[in-house]
Amino acid sequence: MGASAPKDKFHAVWLAFFMLGLGTLLPWNFFMTATMYFSSRLKDSSNETAAGEEHRSVLQARFNNVMTLCAMLPLLIFTCLNSFLHSRVPRHVRVAGSLLVIMAVFLLTALLVKVPMEPAPFFAVTMVKIVIINSFGAVLQGSLFGMAGVLPASYTTPIMSGQGLAGTFAAFAMICAIASGSGVQEAAFGYFVTACVVICISILSYIMLPKLEFFQYYEQQKNRGEEDENVNLANEVGSGRGEGAAGGNASMVKIFKKMWVLALSVCFTFTVTIGTFPAVVADTKSSLADKSSWDVYFVPVACFLLFNLCDWGGRSLTAFCMWPGKNSRLLPVLIAARVAFVPLFMLCNVQPRVHLPVFFQHDAFFATFMVAFAVSNGYLASLCMCYGPKKVLPHEAETAGAIMAFFLSLGLAFGAALSFVFRALV
């Protein structure tokens, strides 16, 4: 198969998957970056009553927790649904439909920047939008990893790299907004419009994909494998050895058994990462607090920008180096070893703190840990996502990619839950 495969001319397929990966996470990253804007809208002072002030302050205080809940639950549920239903719903409906819905939500969000609303209805509308974005984002992400699973292993890298660039882009936007002193509403409007433009480019990239010879070749390989599998299944059913209606579920279990180590590995990777970042690390204070300008930029630069840059670098590194191999026992060992970052960050200058002493006071310790933490997250997670679909037969690769996306989302959910525990232990 490899000898007769056409070349990816001008790396067009690679670039298309990169843009689709960017379009998957850039909107949500901009949404999170605009939390100052959402908080300001919840402090609307149109009614200066004591009860009103108290009501608005409650909404503002609960915004981040409720946002996390409204993001992670739909992400996990819809990624799971996509794992089981991807063969029943056409791919173009899942991918193009999800992108269009997300773009419509961001257009609405951009318009609402200019529309006055009371805090309570604004809070409710915002949470509904978060649920919609993450529900369709989950379907989109699972579908993309399924598509990439059909191609050579290196074609999962552009999706992971594009997602990494999304976080870096958003972190730069946050720092630029602080430096410019622009109003939160103007900055938020710019975020949402930029997200819409990126989604438009992602839609065009997806439309272009089926027209590319390289992509067509591997799609045909997958379709031939599915036809052979259907013939074999029909023969088994005819001879009384078939699995009948349960065949689909049995197939999912069979595929999972081939790649369970990698699925659990990517789940654990993101459990450790999200359990620590940003819940613990974002509360770290600079040891150079007397230098006021650096104190203002410490978390945006040393935490968010440094993490996203190094995570993006780690994800992109798999385009040049894929070590350890997919069957290596060293890969899960390296992933398990990342749990050491949890106590390391807890012992940095995280404030306020109750239980633990500060052992790593200087900013240099924090920055060093952050570089290793982020590069290892991006590189090891990308390796797992690349290798997972290669542990199964070609016609099973799309299902394997969807399963890997589910375990990635499961790790995000576990990490979000553990973040409350980790922060309380500091």
Q: Are 187 and 31 in contact (CB under 8 A)?
A: no
- Looking at 187, 211, 235, the residue that finishes a domain is 211
At residue 382, the pLDDT reads 94
Quote the domain boundaries for residue 379: 251-426
For residues 4 and 1, what is the distance between their CA atoms, to the nearest angstrom?
A: 6
* 237 within some domain: no
Collapsing DSSP to helix, strand or coil, 89 comes out as coil
328 & 196 share domain: no
168 & 27 share domain: yes
17 & 159 share domain: yes
Tell me the C-alpha to C-alpha distance, in Å, between residue 260 and each of 358, 380, 390: 39, 16, 12
Give the pLDDT of the chain (426 residues) as one tens digit per residue: 445 778 998 999 999 999 999 998 888 888 877 877 888 888 755 544 444 444 445 777 677 768 877 888 898 899 888 877 777 888 889 999 999 999 999 999 999 998 888 888 999 999 999 999 999 999 999 899 889 888 888 899 999 999 999 989 888 887 887 787 767 788 888 888 888 999 999 999 999 999 999 999 988 887 776 666 666 656 655 555 544 444 555 588 889 999 999 999 999 999 999 989 888 888 898 887 665 677 778 888 888 899 999 999 999 999 888 899 888 999 999 999 999 999 999 999 988 888 899 999 889 999 999 999 999 999 999 999 999 998 988 888 888 888 998 999 899 889 888 888 898 898
* 240 within some domain: no
199 & 292 share domain: no
Encoded amino acid at 3, one letter? A
CATH number at residue 321: 1.20.1250
* 5 within some domain: no
Q: Are 288 and 356 in contact (CB under 8 A)?
A: no
The pair of structure tokens assigned to 244 is 């009948």
What is the per-residue burial (b if ≥16 Cβ within 10 Å, else e) of 357-390?
A: eeebeebebbeebbbebbbbbbbbbbbbbbbbbb
154 & 80 share domain: yes
264 & 373 share domain: yes
Q: Among positive and negative, which fits the CA dihedral 387, 388, 391, 395?
A: negative
At residue 244, the pLDDT reads 44
271 & 334 share domain: yes
The pair of structure tokens assigned to 110 is 């951009």
* 232 within some domain: no
At residue 246, the pLDDT reads 47
* 243 within some domain: no
36 & 90 share domain: yes
Please enumerate in sequence order all residues whose Cβ is within 8 A of that of 257, keeping only pairs 6 or more positions apart, or say none.
Answer: none
Q: Give the total number of structural domains in the chain.
A: 2
At residue 49, the pLDDT reads 46
The pair of structure tokens assigned to 13 is 């397929």
- Looking at 211, 241, 271, the residue that finishes a domain is 211
Among residues 114, 128, 148, the alpha carbon closest in space to that of 66 is found at 128
348 & 422 share domain: yes
Q: Are 149 and 326 in contact (CB under 8 A)?
A: no
* 169 within some domain: yes
137 & 264 share domain: no
CATH number at residue 202: 1.20.1250.20
Q: Are 60 and 42 in contact (CB under 8 A)?
A: yes
* 102 within some domain: yes
175 & 317 share domain: no
At residue 51, the pLDDT reads 45
Instruction: Tally the residues of the chain.
Output: 426
149 & 273 share domain: no
Q: Are 20 and 205 in contact (CB under 8 A)?
A: yes
What is the per-residue burial (b if ≥16 Cβ within 10 Å, else e) of 95-128?
A: bbbbbebbbebbeebbebbeeeeebeebbeebbe
* 134 within some domain: yes
At residue 207, the pLDDT reads 94
C-alpha torsion angle, residues 340, 342, 347, 353 (rounded to 10)? -160
At residue 149, the pLDDT reads 87
